[in-house]
Structure 1
Amino acid sequence: MNKTIQSSLQNLGDHSAIESLHQVAGGDINEAFYVSTRENSYFIKTNEDIPTHFFEVEAKGLELIRNTNTIRVPYVYYFDRPENGASGAIIMEWISSSPQSDTAERLGRKLAKMHQFENDRYGLEDDTFVGTLAQPNGLFEDWIVYYQTKRLLPQFELANRQGVMNHERRNKMEQLISQLEKWIPKRPGASLLHGDLWGGNWMAGPDGEPCLIDPSVVYGDRSFELAFTELFGGFPKQFYEAYNDMHSLPSNYRDTKEIYQLFYLLVHLNLFGESYGRAVDRILASYIG
């Protein structure tokens, strides 16, 4: 990957010598590196055999969040648009981590402010990714139609193709998808959402300033975002208290939480297999019986 890094730096316009390069934690999808040249320090992610727009989607999502002026995201210096099958990179600013005792509280307040930025329709004009899976989008007047046709149905159909949707699970999924209007609102606020906000996709920057990374942005019900923060942990109670003080949780949040978590569990079922099947079945049973 060093050739990819060197080539991307040159495309950026940094032709100076690399003084330090070492691999760092960067998730399960990409290889991630700290790279220091004579001109600057960078966080660089690389990958092989990715769609041409893979890193462009990330850059656009970060820019949408940045434009709200509510919460920090890393600045993107450059990203490749590789030909299919080729390797590519995205080059961002290096943010030193320095968590403070109030970082989670500040994150809650800033995310609440970000969620106050709303669109007049749900979804997104461009297709994105959730993990390595393609995420189809589009703009919709009705949140239920978007969540049904662009979120649950694609994951349900993929699970069928991959053989992780047994007969009982399939029947309950079909019933739930056809009856979504019973549980989720048709026209909630269309908030700007990070879209993939688990504990690994936020960090504390300098002086404890919270920073969002690796978004999969979408305009939708903010309960969809908050439900995912509760699925795999990583968010202390101070986060939720501060969020609620700034932007009160929707009155039906507890009723919708699991049906929104279902989407992310289906994603994990499709990516990692039956180890997530029991959690999917538990949610289906709570809504369908």
Structure 2
Amino acid sequence: MNFDLQQHIETQINQILLTDATYKWTSVGGGSINNAYKLSSGEQNYFVKTNTISVFENGFKEEVLGLEFLNKNEALVPKIIAEGRFKNAIYLVLDWIETGNKTTVFWNNFAEQLANLHQHKNHQFGLDYSNFMGQLPQKNTFFDDFTEFFIENRLKPQVVLAFNNGLLQKKHLQQFQHLYKQLPSIFPKEKPCAVHGDLWSGNFMNTIQQKAVLIDPAVYYGHREVDLAMSTLFGGFSYQFYQAYNEIYPLAIGFDNRKEFYNLYPLLIHLNLFGSSYLSSITRIISYF
């Protein structure tokens, strides 16, 4: 951690919270993109993530907006303490979340919390601003139809990027074109609802009160099945979670057969960010038809 940046962040926190505290910095895991720290002063702890404007030119503003979106739609998120830029560095300070064990009570609560988030509806699919999935821009242009939204805002931009970077070939483009024609018959019709947008096991925290706190969102008003599908992609969710969710807010029959088509989007994101190791999963899905 750059000393000047460290001093700047500490000053900002103290000014916002009207304190003159001194802090201890400890490096912690923060994913593959950002640097992350635990900032401690007595019994008070904060989570700090930093990066550079070369990665996120708007700083962490879209993440703050995403957390505010989730909070507005009654999801639990960390309290936002500070967000800003210092020279070429950007930072975000959140309340530290003390974690507990993932018990059956936790999974039942999480299912109820997610179902509640998905009950918040909108008249169109999309959002009135763009944001990010990982470090890649995510378009949220409004559409009345989810399939059209998914093709134009999710699949096509990532397919074009992957093709331009030599990660997809012309035969893959042809397969995607064929898939686009099939998707209207695959996705069930539902009203647009608030979604987290990047719901894998690294993007929630289990509190000692057995509640789920959502972090690192890629929010918009979408199809609720995108969150459920994403949660299956890398594992880490209990069977109890899916059972409880389906009891509270039942999914249309056939979700297990549809989830891979939703997951083409995060797989394409990973292809573009991390390379060709994700190509086999993509080609398997687009070869169904």
Paired residues of 1:5 and 1:89 also in contact (CA < 8 A): no
Paired residues of 1:183 and 1:255 also in contact (CA < 8 A): no
Counterpart of 1:52 in structure 2 is: 57
Which has the higher mean CA deviation after the structures are superposed, 205-214 or 12-21?
A: 12-21
What is the one-letter code of the residue matched to 2:47? F
Deviation of residue 11 (structure 1)? 2.8
What is the one-letter code of the residue matched to 1:23? S
Counterpart of 2:89 in structure 1 is: 87
List per-residue Cα deviations over 1:106-141 (Å, max 9, x = no partner).
Answer: 111110111101111101111100101111222222
Unmatched tracts of structure 2, length 5 or more: none
Q: Label 1:82 to 1:243 Cα distance change in 2 as closer, same or farther (>3 A).
A: farther
Counterpart of 2:145 in structure 1 is: 142
Paired residues of 2:66 and 2:219 also in contact (CA < 8 A): yes
Counterpart of 2:12 in structure 1 is: 11
How many matched pairs? Answer: 283
In the superposition, the TM-score normalised over structure 1's length comes to 0.92
* Matched ranges for 1:206-221 at <5 A: 206-221=208-223
Paired residues of 1:55 and 1:89 also in contact (CA < 8 A): yes
In 2: Cα distance, 1:52 partner to 1:177 partner:
32
What is the one-letter code of the residue matched to 2:263? Q
Deviation of residue 98 (structure 1)? 1.2
Counterpart of 1:73 in structure 2 is: 77
Q: Label 1:10 to 1:52 Cα distance change in 2 as closer, same or farther (>3 A).
A: farther
Correspondent of 1:64 among 66, 69, 72 = 69
Cα RMSD for the two superposed structures:
1.9
Identity over aligned residues, as a percent? 35
SS at match of 1:189: coil
SS at match of 1:230: helix
In 1: Cα distance, 2:86 partner to 2:228 partner:
34
List per-residue Cα deviations over 1:59-103 (Å, max 9, x = no partner).
Answer: 11111111222x3210111111567xx111001001111124121
Deviation of residue 26 (structure 1)? 1.2
* Matched ranges for 1:272-287 at <5 A: 272-286=274-288
Deviation of residue 39 (structure 1)? 9.0
Deviation of residue 173 (structure 1)? 1.3
Q: Label 1:82 to 1:138 Cα distance change in 2 as closer, same or farther (>3 A).
A: farther
Which has the higher mean CA deviation after the structures are superposed, 196-205 or 53-62?
A: 53-62
Unmatched tracts of structure 1, length 5 or more: none
Deviation of residue 52 (structure 1)? 3.5
Could you list the structure 1 runs, at least 4 aligned residues long, displaced by more than 6 angstroms after superposition.
none
What is the one-letter code of the residue matched to 1:166? Q
Q: Label 1:181 to 1:219 Cα distance change in 2 as closer, same or farther (>3 A).
A: same
Which has the higher mean CA deviation after the structures are superposed, 4-13 or 237-246?
A: 4-13
Paired residues of 1:18 and 1:35 also in contact (CA < 8 A): no
SS at match of 2:282: helix
